[in-house]
Structure 1
Amino acid sequence: MFQTICVACLGGTVAVLVLYHLLLKRKCEAAKGEKRDVHRFTVLERLTHAALALSFLTLALTGFGAACAGKSLSSWPWLLHWAAAPVFAAAVALVALVWTQDAVFEPHDWKWMLHLGGNVWRKDGLLASRFNAGQKLFLWLLSLFCLLLVLSGVTLMCPVFDASGQRWVLRVHRYSALLLTMQFLAHVYLGILAHPGTLWGMITGYVTPSWARQHHPVWWDDGRMVDG
């Protein structure tokens, strides 16, 4: 049953993103020749984000590789899965600690969410601070799902319930991972294809002035460039 749900949800998410890209995506080109001299992310933030991304990819590939094939996690994929788990948990904890202040919702975020950030239908004048409402929501959901995954994962490793209870723990682990992976796919698409310049900002730590003004006008106007 979970195998079917897993394939349908992950395949459906990819299909929706492809259709959106082909039919609805707003043209958003990166400024050519403009120097990236706006400091957006510190070295610590970038390294933590990289650790989070790599550990999550390891968990997703090993976990859903087995699930989509209808098999149980075993052998070296099992070892990789459990080796990546503490790295992922630590990275999420550090990300939450570093970015909690930037992830607090503000009045202008509700308008951004109402119009889906202008990603579906054009809406100019939407405001965003260092993180937009979608990124803030992603961070809070990431923290929630990570908590569920860690608690359920530890319980699966060290059972505390009877057989029926452990089956429910496994369901919580599986579906939390599935929802987080669907969210991750959308996050990757938005950062790489939908908004050019976003990925390079995370890799290098710097963005162009036009990118900052377009995507995070409140942060740009406040002059709150990061230190370090």
Structure 2
Amino acid sequence: MPMFYRLLQSALMAVFLAMFLVAASPAAYAQLDQAPSPASPSAKEEVELYQQLQGKVQGYVSIPDGKLATLVQPEGREWREFRNYWARIISGVMMVGMLAGLAAFYLFRGKIRIQAGRVGRTVTRFMPVERFAHWLSASSFVVLALTGLMLAFGRPVLIPLIGHEAFTALAHYGKISHNYLSFPFVLGILMMFVVWLRDNIPEKADITWIKQGGGFLNNGFHPEAGRFNAGQKMIFWTVVLGGMAMALSGYMLMFPFYLTGVGGMQIAHIIHSLGTAVMVTVIFGHIYIGTIGMEGAFDAMGNGEVDLNWAREHHAGWLKSEGISTDTRDGPSKVPTGAGRIAGQEAD
């Protein structure tokens, strides 16, 4: 089993690197600065027509769908400019900026170690149903993020590398997987909301944790936190609220015109694209802490057990609520079975 968890951790780092290569590729922005094709001879007449019609060309139709009467929508040109330029710029800056910040932090701080060392005894951090909910949403999100980035940056990045035909097939199957994997993603978020809501309510101790920077900048100092610290709570609410926003806007795009018209679809697309960038940026930090950023953190979701000294240093308030001593010189105390119980197994 330890080998499996190491392979899983390596796979997460590979995904982390793949997202970085897509987001940071200079080719993603190479086509954004290309000049438009020369104007046609009738461009002047078209501009005059748009000015006379205040930019909107709309007629009449006898069929029930009145939306088809609109031939030209000025907001559509603004949306297209945002989609083809600003959405890529904003998303790229956010994601690459986060990756650069994490790299700089790692060079400055290094891996956060267990100061007292591993004690060789573990405490149950997450039950199987909690880990299932996490990995269900996490694995779905990885595919959703990669396919979404492919659809957003694929034309300027992938077509020059693999050609139009290969990209067409990749985009086709990517869109299918993107649509269908949205359902397990939403299910995982709903499960996490149910099982972790009680532990993610903001409290006064979170303010202290934030003021002290979570102890990340001070080697050997860790502010007391409950089962989830303020940073984890922020990730929780970002995933829950952001995930629901992604689901709602995504389903509006997947099933067009059931709830709104063309203008509403354009707004849904903007929310979906910017919300995705925010979530990917936040998850970058989450993956960093859970893999190379902190010793012992991956064990919590890997096998559900964390070293007792790790829990004492990072979640002393949680151990107190479970009746476990937070003094690293003490042996483990007996507590009821379930999350928080002491296990006698050796730490990996």
- TM-score, scaled relative to structure 1: 0.91
Task: Give the one of 94, 103, 127 matched to 2:224.
Answer: 127
Deviation at 1:162, TM superposition (A): 2.6
Code of the residue aligned with 2:275 in structure 1: it is: S
* 1:162-219, Cα deviation, whole Å (9 max, x unpaired): 3222111100011111101100000111121222111012111111110010010011
Task: Give the one of 154, 160, 175 matched to 1:69.
Answer: 154
Code of the residue aligned with 2:272 in structure 1: it is: H
Q: In structure 2, what is the Cα distance between the partners aligned to 1:125 and 1:119? A: 8
Does 1:4 pair with 2:101?
Answer: no
User: Which residue does 1:169 correspond to in 2?
Assistant: 268
Task: Give the one of 282, 285, 296 matched to 1:186.
Answer: 285
Q: 1:59, 1:81 within 8 Å by CA — same for their partners in 2?
A: yes
Q: 1:149, 1:173 within 8 Å by CA — same for their partners in 2?
A: yes
Does 1:195 pair with 2:300?
Answer: no
Q: 1:48, 1:91 within 8 Å by CA — same for their partners in 2?
A: yes
Does 1:219 pair with 2:318?
Answer: yes
Q: Which has the larger displacement, 174-183 or 61-70?
A: 61-70
Does 1:46 pair with 2:131?
Answer: yes
Code of the residue aligned with 1:117 in structure 2: it is: G
Task: Give the one of 236, 259, 267 matched to 1:139.
Answer: 236
Q: Which has the larger displacement, 157-166 or 200-209?
A: 157-166
User: Which residue does 2:105 correspond to in 1?
Assistant: 20
Higher helix share: 1
Code of the residue aligned with 1:227 in structure 2: it is: G
Q: In structure 1, what is the Cα distance between the partners aligned to 2:215 and 2:108? A: 15
Q: What's the RMSD between the two structures over aligned residues? A: 2.2
Deviation at 1:69, TM superposition (A): 2.5
Does 1:114 pair with 2:211?
Answer: yes
* 1:49-79, Cα deviation, whole Å (9 max, x unpaired): 1111100001000001221224799410001
Q: In structure 1, what is the Cα distance between the partners aligned to 2:234 and 2:118? A: 33
Q: 1:130, 1:216 within 8 Å by CA — same for their partners in 2?
A: yes
Deviation at 1:127, TM superposition (A): 1.1
| Greater relative contact order, per chain length (Cα 8 Å cut-off, separation 6+) | 1
* 1:26-63, Cα deviation, whole Å (9 max, x unpaired): 74247666324211110111111111110000100000
Code of the residue aligned with 1:77 in structure 2: it is: G
Q: In structure 2, what is the Cα distance between the partners aligned to 1:111 and 1:31? A: 23
Q: What is the count of residue pairs matched by the alignment?
A: 228
Q: Which has the larger displacement, 149-158 or 178-187?
A: 149-158
User: Which residue does 2:191 correspond to in 1?
Assistant: 94
Structure 1 stretches of 5 or more lacking a match?
none
User: Which residue does 2:250 correspond to in 1?
Assistant: 153
C-alpha change, 1:111 and 1:25, in structure 2 (3 Å) is farther
Q: 1:92, 1:143 within 8 Å by CA — same for their partners in 2?
A: yes
Q: In structure 2, what is the Cα distance between the partners aligned to 1:34 and 1:19? A: 31
* 1:88-112, Cα deviation, whole Å (9 max, x unpaired): 0010000010000111122211110
Does 1:208 pair with 2:307?
Answer: yes
Q: In structure 2, what is the Cα distance between the partners aligned to 1:87 and 1:53? A: 10
Code of the residue aligned with 1:171 in structure 2: it is: I
Q: In structure 2, what is the Cα distance between the partners aligned to 1:70 and 1:77? A: 14
Deviation at 1:25, TM superposition (A): 4.3
Q: In structure 1, what is the Cα distance between the partners aligned to 2:155 and 2:260? A: 25
Q: In structure 1, what is the Cα distance between the partners aligned to 2:265 and 2:250? A: 11
Q: Which has the larger displacement, 121-130 or 64-73?
A: 64-73
Structure 2 stretches of 5 or more lacking a match?
1-84, 157-167, 324-334, 340-348
Q: In structure 2, what is the Cα distance between the partners aligned to 1:9 and 1:169? A: 20
Q: In structure 2, what is the Cα distance between the partners aligned to 1:126 and 1:11? A: 30
Q: In structure 1, what is the Cα distance between the partners aligned to 2:186 and 2:93? A: 27
C-alpha change, 1:144 and 1:33, in structure 2 (3 Å) is closer
Q: 1:59, 1:85 within 8 Å by CA — same for their partners in 2?
A: yes
